[in-house]
Amino acid sequence: MASQLIFGEESRELTEVTALSKAEGGTFQAQNSNARAFYWALGALGALGAFVALAVLAVIGASLRAPFTVNNVSKVHPISMFNSVQSELQPTCTDFPRLHILEVTHSNLAGVGPDSGPEGLYYHVRSSKGRDFEMRVHGAKGLACPFPKLNGMHGMYATVNVASKSSANLRFTFHDWHTKQPVVMDDFTITFFDLDHGYGNAGVEEVVIQGDWTQAVVAEDTTILVHQAESSEHKIAFKATEEALRPDEPKNPLHLTLRQFNKAVSLKFVRAKSFTADLKVTTTSQYPRFFEFLGEASILCASNPNGGKLPSGEVYVNRAQLEKTEMEIQHFHGEKSPGEHGLLNIVPILLGLGVAVLLTLIGLYFWFAEPPNLRGYVEMSFQEDKQGPGIFWVTIPTGQLKLGLLLDAPEGINQPPMIKEVLTGGAAKNFNESNPYYAIEAYDAIIGYGNLSDPHEVLEALYSKAPDEVSLQLDRPEKFSIELKGSLGAQLDAFEDSFGAVIMHIEPGGTLAKWNEQNPGRTVNRGDRIIELRGMDFNARKGWKMRTAAQPEGENPFGSRSNSRFLEEMEECRDIEREVTVLKYLSSESRA
């Protein structure tokens, strides 16, 4: 996908602000009339602060006998791998930034396919700062990968398979999503899961990381053998010692059994340009081994199935990379070592003068400026970021409440249920209020419920009594518009009260099929939805009523389940260009 558009409301505002009535407008006018006096006070304080700052900094400057330095960077205190049990130095979940691995855009690792073109496995990823990047994974020629078609993604996990007694030496690089130029990546996390071996020590898995990692952390009772050579701190190896069991494969990276937790390792990367991961199968195995990873700090963030905290253990540090990144940050902030440039004592006085002038100007501004409309400031102050398009997990405490989700789930089409509305008084509504970033929205598709991923099983679980805690895997769609001319060339399905129509089949040679051929990076697939035609919402209930009013009862050439009025409008516009708005789901692309 060339771009991602956040679908839904652009911001969340407090109910008290959005519900202001005309009567309350007088309150704002009164506040604005009082704001003048407030501004005058700010102006006077600004001027006074200017003179105080000048006096204080001048005294400090006169007393200094050493060059003045600017130091905005806290010194890094690396965690020694020999004394990492010091609790005050242990990293926390928020210290390891998340990396969203959204989709595979090109799969030709080591040139063995299945795609043609340049060598490499390309992922569309998004950093914790919301910026999009391309993560490229390159493999050397001759890499023993028995099933190239299975490389890429397995559910929400990135995956690479490696043959018996062989290794895949992979190089990870990062590129700007739009320009494709190499970049220094935003800080991120990679966690490798399910490091184990087969029966009788067959197919022992080992991961060797070398490059721009800074910290690695394993479980307190880890089954992974870790080796970090003191002669080369950039290199660290993780070798499996536990035999595999089929239930060990994790479904949710933030809810792990103890066995799953003990077989994982999380690594943090700071200002990384690249790193290598050597995925090894060190002993003979009848079948290839699959290595899976994603961008969650599961060792620090995951809980057990009952919601309890799982204990993290040893922390390993790449001190050379920490020192390198510290120097880069110091350089970015302009930090100088003592005496490096022989700065004179006059510098603090000049800085004091600058601060004094700045505060004076600010004071004058507040003295003479007109107070702004306070309503805009109040509304802006409550804007918040939120989860964008893509696949993510939420865990909802129910507290004996119903989930409170109104679903769109046509029977018999084997498609994930879609959320139409989050109902007031339900557990989901309470979750949204407590977790605005991950707030559930209309049009989110529920593609997983705990360990369930089959749409029918997910729907049954949603309609059953909810446990104390519910984990949902959601697919938030990308919304975009396309210009079409001619017959749609697709079969749609919708209930009478559906939001949009589900695309069930795309006919070869139709308008949608041609669109897909011409736009391989933004294809429309089975399971995606059409929600607007010519800028008008496709409200199935409205269309159903229009049809029944216009046609005798029982006559519906498009079938009783479809919203025929919408299809009729599509057909009426077949000879002219019309704008159709589509919701594109990542999960539907993987099922295409």
Reply yes or no on whether the pLDDT at 6 is more than 60. no
Q: Is residue 78 part of a domain?
A: no
Of 476, 497, 515, which residue is a domain's last?
A: 476
Quickly state the pLDDT bin for 506 (edges 50, 70, 90): confident
Reply yes or no on whether the pLDDT at 98 is more than 80. yes
Residues 160 and 257 both lie in one domain? yes
Reply yes or no on whether the pLDDT at 28 is more than 90. no
Residues 206 and 165 both lie in one domain? yes
Number of domains within the chain: 4
Q: Is residue 283 part of a domain?
A: yes
For residue 411, the enclosing domain spans 390-476
Q: Is residue 252 part of a domain?
A: yes
Q: What is the pLDDT of residue 586?
A: 85
Of 476, 504, 535, which residue is a domain's last?
A: 476
pLDDT tens for 398-434 read 888 899 998 887 666 788 999 989 999 899 999 999 8
Q: Is residue 355 part of a domain?
A: yes
Q: Is residue 308 part of a domain?
A: yes
Residues 505 and 438 both lie in one domain? no
Reply yes or no on whether the pLDDT at 232 is more than 80. no
- How many of the other CB atoms lie within 10 Å of CB of 375? 15
pLDDT tens for 33-90 read 455 555 556 566 666 666 666 566 555 554 444 333 333 333 333 333 333 333 335 8
Of 444, 476, 508, which residue is a domain's last?
A: 476
Q: Which helix (H) or strand (E) holds 354?
A: helix 346-368
Angle, CA 584 vertex, CA 582 and CA 587 arms, to 5°: 155
Residues 373 and 401 both lie in one domain? no
What is the spatial distance between Cα 189 and Cα 340, in angstroms, rounded to a whole number?
36
Residues 467 and 524 both lie in one domain? no
Q: What is the pLDDT of residue 53?
A: 62
Pairing, β 405-408 against β 157-162: unpaired
Q: What is the pLDDT of residue 567?
A: 54
Residues 472 and 493 both lie in one domain? no
Residues 261 and 313 both lie in one domain? yes
Reply yes or no on whether the pLDDT at 299 is more than 90. yes
Q: Is residue 74 part of a domain?
A: no
> Percentage of the chain surpassing pLDDT 90?
32
Task: Report CA-CA distances (Å) from 420 to 423, 440, 563.
Answer: 9, 10, 17
Task: Give residue for tokens 């107070």.
Answer: 371
Pairing, β 529-533 against β 578-584: antiparallel
Task: Give residue for tokens 């070398």.
Answer: 210
Q: Which is more confident, 355 or 181? A: 181
Residues 220 and 353 both lie in one domain? no
Residues 349 and 447 both lie in one domain? no
Sign, CA dihedral 510-107-118-116, equals negative
Residues 460 and 494 both lie in one domain? no
For the segment 579-586, the average pLDDT, to the nearest whole number, is 86
* pTM (predicted TM-score): 0.48
pLDDT tens for 320-353 read 877 776 665 555 444 444 444 444 456 656 666 6
Residues 314 and 214 both lie in one domain? yes
Q: Is residue 72 part of a domain?
A: no
For the segment 445-463, the average pLDDT, to the nearest whole number, is 89
Residues 154 and 288 both lie in one domain? yes
CB 562 within 8 A of CB 501: yes
Quickly state the pLDDT bin for 20 (edges 50, 70, 90): very low
What is the spatial distance between Cα 160 and Cα 592, in angstroms, rounded to a whole number?
21
Q: What is the pLDDT of residue 83?
A: 35
| CATH number, position 487 | 2.30.42.10
Q: Is residue 518 part of a domain?
A: yes
